[in-house]
Structure 1
Amino acid sequence: MIVYYSMERTKLNLISIIFCFLLFLSFKQLITKAQSPTYVGDDCNYTKPKPLTNAYQTNLNSILLNLSNDAATSKGYNYTSIGDNNTTKVYGLYDCRSDVVGFFCQFCVAAATREVLQRCPNRASATIFFTICILRYSNENFFGKVITYPAWNHLGDKNVSSVVEIQKGEDFMKGLIRKATNQTNQLFYMDGFNLSSTQRRYGLVQCTRDLTNEGCGQCLETLLSKIPKCCEHKLGWQVGCVSCLIRYDENMFYLHNQSPSPSVQADPQTGWLTPAYEEILNADLPTIPLITIQHCTGNFSETSKLGEGGFGSVYKGILPDGREIAVKRLSSSSGQGSEEFKNEVMFIAKLQHRNLVRLLACCLEGNEKLLVYEFMPNASLDFHLFDDEKRKKLDWKLSLSIINGIAKGLLYLHEDSRLRVIHRDLKASNVLLDHEMNPKISDFGLARAFDIGQIQANTRRIMGTYGYMAPEYTMEGVFSVKSDVFSFGVLVLEIISGKKNNGFYLSEGHGQSLLLYTWKKWCEGNCLELMDSVLEKSCIHNEVVRCINIGLLCVQEDAADRPTMSNVVVMLASDTMTLPKPKHPAFSIGRMTNEDASTSKSFKDPSNNDVTISNILPR
């Protein structure tokens, strides 16, 4: 444990200043272009350097690496130890400010682990402070120990205007302490209260999260008892120690309220009771502060906008560590935005596959509903597929690779994931391409999960995209895994032909859909005429014919005649397997819709996590 007890008064004052800046510097003032969190100080001047054994140094390096890696996926804190005996064992802890979790916490901890060894060489114990996190390590076990000495305080310039506020402020802070330590193991709480009709006050209490509820309460009560002597006549004040802190202010200094919310709430569209969003934002998906996203996207500037659709807009952003992201900003005016947000968080956050786009984080602050995805530098499939110039880059080897990747992604959703998910809106604009042109299925706003043993479901709200929807879904509201198979079949035929199913009967002058045109050519024995001319030089004819066969099998009118995605993957992988003969495909002429004109033409940058434009059909 780091020993503070022999510090002189001047040293205590310095520690006070360090902690003050560490935990409470305004987050808005932190962020500058693509920089790491700001170093504030350390305690290394109060310990003497001493050569470390090789075993201890190795364990120290390991624990710092582990803490840094852990911060990428944790809720903002962790503590652990490495080593087998007392002479080589190292104890380590990081703790980010409670209103900062996810990416920015990770950046802070990573910076701290890098710099602590540079600033504190040859120390068996050290503590380093950054603006929003603390990192500690020691050769002695300090976990769970309440350290309230030395305590420090920092006072604002303004005085309180009345004794009433002093009493209300004290009662308010006692309430925060109760909520932080009331058998929740949360160990922090932040909130505000109305002092009058025109004045509001804000407070935060927090303990290092290696403590128990009892230990946290002991620490916070000890600090609160110091308030009358040091701080109660000031409008803003902060009191802290190694294990906990309290702050009171007239300004809202924290980034967002993480206080518990009701467990259910009514959906504004359906009136159904659904889990509150704050409960959906669980450990499976980190949150990211709104102010970080605003900074990353230039406050959602037009220059950072990638695309726009019915649910809102998509923006490109650059995180403080230089990583590129795509941010879907769901429109507050979209009645379907709340439902889509819930679906994206509930489904894709729980699914991990190389052919599914990765949802990195989300943000729900104020009226904003934001989803943060990995950035796809090669945009969506339709961006290339339906553009005469960009289409030339899609040779047959790449086209077949994309078909296989989409099939494997769907197979994972239907049979191999934790949830059995029906996507319901598979289309070219919802297949994104990474830097190596690997396909990733995106946009789970319309997705639905099936229970074990459930085969199909019905809905009265038909939502999707014309030309990709299976006939039983369009006409009767019946959807199943076979609905996605139908959409996949349409997509295969679009990839091979380079033509959209939507509007094909008008644009090509054939007077029929792409599906019926393909069927006609198949029956004539001329199915290769369907193939786009750009594939002629690179294609292997029997592979193209096999894919056309599979595409036609997937768009059969009767859902029972369509293969499962597991069968599709096997058929795609086999050169010798005899394929079933397709039947007449579903009658689908498609329709010209806003979707036809918006998806590819809305790109301002070669990436887009496309926002679905859905069409609601009456029944």
Structure 2
Amino acid sequence: MRNRRRLALSYNLAALALFLELALHHAPPLAGAQPLPWQLCNATSGNYTEGSTFQANVRALAKALPGNASSSASLFATGAAGAAPDKVYAIALCRGDTNASSCAACVANAFNNAQQLCALNKRATMFDDPCILRYSDQDILANVTDNRGMFVAWNYNNVSAAKAQAFDAASGRLVNATADYAAADSVKRFGTGEVGFDDVTYPRIFSLAQCTPDMSAAECRSCLGDIIRRMTPRYFVGKPGGRVFGVRCNFRFESYSFFAGRPLLQLPGPPPPPANMTPPAPGISQGRKTTHRTGRVLAITLPIAGAMLALVVFACFCSWTRRTSARKASSVPLPCSTNPDDIKSIDSLLLPLPTLQIATDNFAEKNKLGEGGFGAVYKGVLPEGQEIAVKRLSQSSRQGLEELKTELVLVAKLRHKNLVSLVGVCLEEDEKLLVYEYMPNKSLDTILFDYEKSKDLDWEKRLKIVNGVARGLQYLHEDSQLRVVHRDLKASNVLLDFDYNPKISDFGLAKLFEWEQTQDVTSHIAGTYGYMSPEYAMRGQYSVKSDAFSFGVMILEIVTGRRNSSFASNSEQSIDLLSFVWEHWTTGTIEELLDPAMGDRSANGQILKLVNIALLCVQDNPADRPMMSAVNVMLGSNTVSIQAPSRPTFCIQDMDGADTDTFSRGAFRFQSTGTRKTNAAPSPNEVSLTELEPR
């Protein structure tokens, strides 16, 4: 039940993030919602220059602190480098429930992010999970109680008015008890807690508190007490979750388990509330309606996870929209829901069919952006001028219905700058439509594999795309409130905005994992030929390492400008893309296979590093492939050593008697030789859904 609730009511991506300078006298400005990491840059402190002694000192700390923090029993490290006026001080703190490797990777990535997001600033702070980093030209090590500069975030949902007062009391009791536990921990100054709550939607409350271990018990408790007292009444009243990020102390509470391992502290649940519990005062309950808007999109609150409830949601949508001639303006639970609190505020996520018909000129052929395995995508313009992309499921096919349900549930919950954003959904009459933000440069494959258009993708743009996709995958695998395996990552599912920033799309085949889960097995193998990992195609085993394999293939396509499927369709080409790259890698002639459209070859050293990372991602054994957090560390650092890859597994396809348009009867064999036998060419359309019979 706890895991179900965790997936159902997870943090809505810190729906509002508030930047606070506690020591300053002006009112703190609001910051737009964004995924971690959050940065605090102090541009008024002065800047350093490229190649300066100050920059060298920052880089020296970036090299030392990840190892120092991860090897410490307290997962904490401080350091100083250089001499005045170029001396740099730094603090790195990893969450007490993380492991050494995750700690090191997070701190290294935080240094890299700080130098990019706070470019040339002498003072920078990065808040991330599972680490916090601050460096400065001031001696931030001298005063352990200086906690200035924070981020505050809260869950955008609301506890029901009848339960809010009791929930606030229970969460407050738990947070304070967890703070006491953390202060008493002489090694890590870290604590986690849990308490039961008498509510169907929020049956448990979880909390975490931490201070830097160089604080005394009294200093830690005072620091935590201060931010609890200051922030809770102002931001967390009636909220099922919230957090305060501070360098010296921080706390968090949620209605789902968000930390590793069992809670270190368990409180007894409160007695059942009286039947006539008085609702909170009007000043508190105002705005505590079930409607919670973020732009045009509403999060879907689900009581259980998985495909079963996705089916319920979808069935309710269809039933409701067909039976309702005019949609109400008020927020009403779906009529077919067995629990009125299970699904909230669906109304504003639904878009009327006539609106989308007008927006797309009735799905005119001239507005078609492309076509996939389940239907076409059309460009449209909403009445207020917003450009959209409308994914239209084919009316003649029942295939893809489950994928549409999965995509609706997942995309409504996930928010990251490298994931495509959902605008709305339409399920009227026989139409099943998902509406997304419009991406003017369409998908990566439409540019990368076009002889003329590919010239627009210089090395810098290609590197930006690789970095963005890697960050998006890390969010899906490790950083979001849900742990998601995409299962169909490929160039056509990476969309590009006006500035060529990439966004991962098409979550129809995605799978949810529990946090403790490492892999799963399916007899229904779905994906795209050429991007599937060997263990998945042969045995149906998938994990985050399956996405890593697909990511590696895509990197090689970006570097070479060649489709992995082009080798199969070219009768004159005897080897596949992985074999092709491996041969050049072993002979030291990688530059011969680079896409000429990239232009300037002065970055050959970086390109070689990118190929090295790609070959690590396509290793035969999933355990030998890196996690995406490690990939991001390798991409962002010039000092991290990258191991040499082994020969990857190469895929051979037997297609005797197969339907090559759908691969519905295809079977795969894998070997690590450079030879290839092809009996039939795969579909040039690169169908999204692949039905295979694994041996």
What is aligned with 2:493?
430
Deviation, structure 1 residue 588 = 1.4
State the SS of the aligned residue for 1:509: coil
CA 1:505–1:294 in 2, change beyond 3 Å: closer, same or farther?
A: closer
State the SS of the aligned residue for 1:306: strand
Q: How far apart, CA to CA, are the structure 1 residues paired with 2:288 and 2:407?
A: 35
Deviation, structure 1 residue 538 = 4.6
CA 1:527–1:211 in 2, change beyond 3 Å: closer, same or farther?
A: closer
What is aligned with 2:383?
320
Q: How far apart, CA to CA, are the structure 2 residues paired with 1:613 and 1:408?
A: 23
Deviation, structure 1 residue 534 = 2.0
What is aligned with 1:340?
403
What is aligned with 2:473?
410
Q: How far apart, CA to CA, are the structure 2 residues paired with 1:308 and 1:256?
A: 34
Aligned equivalent of 2:508, options 436, 445, 465: 445
CA 1:313–1:279 in 2, change beyond 3 Å: closer, same or farther?
A: farther
Cα deviations by residue, 1:564-596 (Å, 9 ceiling, x for unpaired) = 000100001111221111011112146875785
Which residues of structure 2 form unaligned runs of 5+?
1-155, 159-285, 290-322, 663-681
The 5 A counterparts of 1:113-152 are: none
Q: Is 1:373 paired with 2:436?
A: yes
8 Å Cα contact 1:505-1:514 kept in structure 2: no
Aligned equivalent of 2:690, options 601, 615, 618: 615
8 Å Cα contact 1:354-1:440 kept in structure 2: yes
What is aligned with 1:549?
612
Q: How far apart, CA to CA, are the structure 2 residues paired with 1:446 and 1:552?
A: 25
Question: Alignment length, in residue pairs?
Answer: 356
State the SS of the aligned residue for 1:522: helix
Percent identical across equivalent pairs?
A: 50
Q: What is the alpha-carbon root mean square deviation over aligned residues?
A: 3.3
The 5 A counterparts of 1:553-592 are: 553-589=616-652
Q: How far apart, CA to CA, are the structure 1 residues paired with 2:479 and 2:460?
A: 26
Q: Is 1:597 paired with 2:684?
A: yes
CA 1:576–1:343 in 2, change beyond 3 Å: closer, same or farther?
A: same
8 Å Cα contact 1:460-1:477 kept in structure 2: yes
CA 1:295–1:259 in 2, change beyond 3 Å: closer, same or farther?
A: farther
Cα deviations by residue, 1:24-54 (Å, 9 ceiling, x for unpaired) = xxxxxxxxxxxxxxxxxxxxxxxxxxxxxxx
Aligned equivalent of 2:422, options 351, 355, 359: 359
Which residue identity is paired with 2:575? Answer: Q
Deviation, structure 1 residue 252 = 8.2
Q: How far apart, CA to CA, are the structure 2 residues paired with 1:210 and 1:352?
A: 23
8 Å Cα contact 1:376-1:432 kept in structure 2: yes
What is aligned with 1:493?
556
Aligned equivalent of 1:298, options 354, 361, 373: 361
Q: How far apart, CA to CA, are the structure 2 residues paired with 1:430 and 1:453?
A: 28
Q: How far apart, CA to CA, are the structure 2 residues paired with 1:256 and 1:368?
A: 20
8 Å Cα contact 2:333-2:344 kept in structure 1: no
Which residues of structure 1 form unaligned runs of 5+?
1-72, 76-208, 213-250, 265-274, 600-611
Which residue identity is paired with 1:434? Answer: D
8 Å Cα contact 1:405-1:439 kept in structure 2: yes
State the SS of the aligned residue for 1:499: coil
Deviation, structure 1 residue 253 = 5.7
Q: How far apart, CA to CA, are the structure 1 residues paired with 2:614 and 2:346?
A: 39
What is aligned with 1:526?
589
Aligned equivalent of 2:336, options 262, 275, 288: 262
Deviation, structure 1 residue 398 = 0.7
The 5 A counterparts of 1:470-489 are: 470-489=533-552
State the SS of the aligned residue for 1:347: helix
* Bigger relative CO (Cα 8 Å, ≥ 6 apart): 1
CA 1:593–1:398 in 2, change beyond 3 Å: closer, same or farther?
A: farther
Q: How far apart, CA to CA, are the structure 2 residues paired with 1:565 and 1:587?
A: 22
8 Å Cα contact 2:337-2:343 kept in structure 1: no
Which residue identity is paired with 2:690? Answer: N
What is aligned with 2:461?
398
8 Å Cα contact 1:256-1:365 kept in structure 2: no
Cα deviations by residue, 1:251-308 (Å, 9 ceiling, x for unpaired) = 98625897734348xxxxxxxxxx99x9768559722112211221122222222222
What is aligned with 1:110?
none
Deviation, structure 1 residue 539 = 4.4
8 Å Cα contact 2:523-2:540 kept in structure 1: yes
Which residue identity is paired with 1:504? Answer: F
Q: How far apart, CA to CA, are the structure 2 residues paired with 1:211 and 1:522?
A: 60
CA 1:539–1:466 in 2, change beyond 3 Å: closer, same or farther?
A: farther
State the SS of the aligned residue for 1:368: coil
Q: How far apart, CA to CA, are the structure 1 residues paired with 2:622 and 2:347?
A: 34
State the SS of the aligned residue for 1:413: helix
Q: How far apart, CA to CA, are the structure 2 residues paired with 1:518 and 1:537?
A: 20
Q: How far apart, CA to CA, are the structure 2 residues paired with 1:515 and 1:379?
A: 26
Q: How far apart, CA to CA, are the structure 1 residues paired with 2:413 and 2:525?
A: 25
8 Å Cα contact 1:74-1:283 kept in structure 2: no
The 5 A counterparts of 1:236-255 are: 254-255=326-327
State the SS of the aligned residue for 1:597: coil
8 Å Cα contact 2:373-2:689 kept in structure 1: yes
Cα deviations by residue, 1:311-368 (Å, 9 ceiling, x for unpaired) = 1111111100111100111123333322112111111111111111111111122222
Deviation, structure 1 residue 418 = 1.1
Deviation, structure 1 residue 614 = 1.4
Cα deviations by residue, 1:203-260 (Å, 9 ceiling, x for unpaired) = xxxxxx9999xxxxxxxxxxxxxxxxxxxxxxxxxxxxxxxxxxxxxx9862589773
The 5 A counterparts of 1:63-142 are: none
Cα deviations by residue, 1:84-139 (Å, 9 ceiling, x for unpaired) = xxxxxxxxxxxxxxxxxxxxxxxxxxxxxxxxxxxxxxxxxxxxxxxxxxxxxxxx
Cα deviations by residue, 1:149-171 (Å, 9 ceiling, x for unpaired) = xxxxxxxxxxxxxxxxxxxxxxx
Q: How far apart, CA to CA, are the structure 2 residues paired with 1:450 and 1:585?
A: 27
CA 1:398–1:434 in 2, change beyond 3 Å: closer, same or farther?
A: same
CA 1:312–1:259 in 2, change beyond 3 Å: closer, same or farther?
A: same
Q: How far apart, CA to CA, are the structure 2 residues paired with 1:483 and 1:468?
A: 9
Q: How far apart, CA to CA, are the structure 1 residues paired with 2:557 and 2:661?
A: 17
8 Å Cα contact 2:422-2:437 kept in structure 1: yes
State the SS of the aligned residue for 2:623: helix
CA 1:356–1:596 in 2, change beyond 3 Å: closer, same or farther?
A: farther
State the SS of the aligned residue for 2:446: helix
Q: How far apart, CA to CA, are the structure 2 residues paired with 1:487 and 1:409?
A: 14
State the SS of the aligned residue for 2:405: helix
CA 1:328–1:357 in 2, change beyond 3 Å: closer, same or farther?
A: same
8 Å Cα contact 2:333-2:346 kept in structure 1: no
TM-score, normalised by the number of residues in structure 2: 0.48
State the SS of the aligned residue for 1:598: coil
Deviation, structure 1 residue 386 = 0.6
8 Å Cα contact 2:522-2:541 kept in structure 1: yes
Deviation, structure 1 residue 401 = 0.7
CA 1:386–1:284 in 2, change beyond 3 Å: closer, same or farther?
A: farther
CA 1:334–1:541 in 2, change beyond 3 Å: closer, same or farther?
A: same
Q: How far apart, CA to CA, are the structure 1 residues paired with 2:504 and 2:287?
A: 40
Q: Is 1:387 paired with 2:483?
A: no
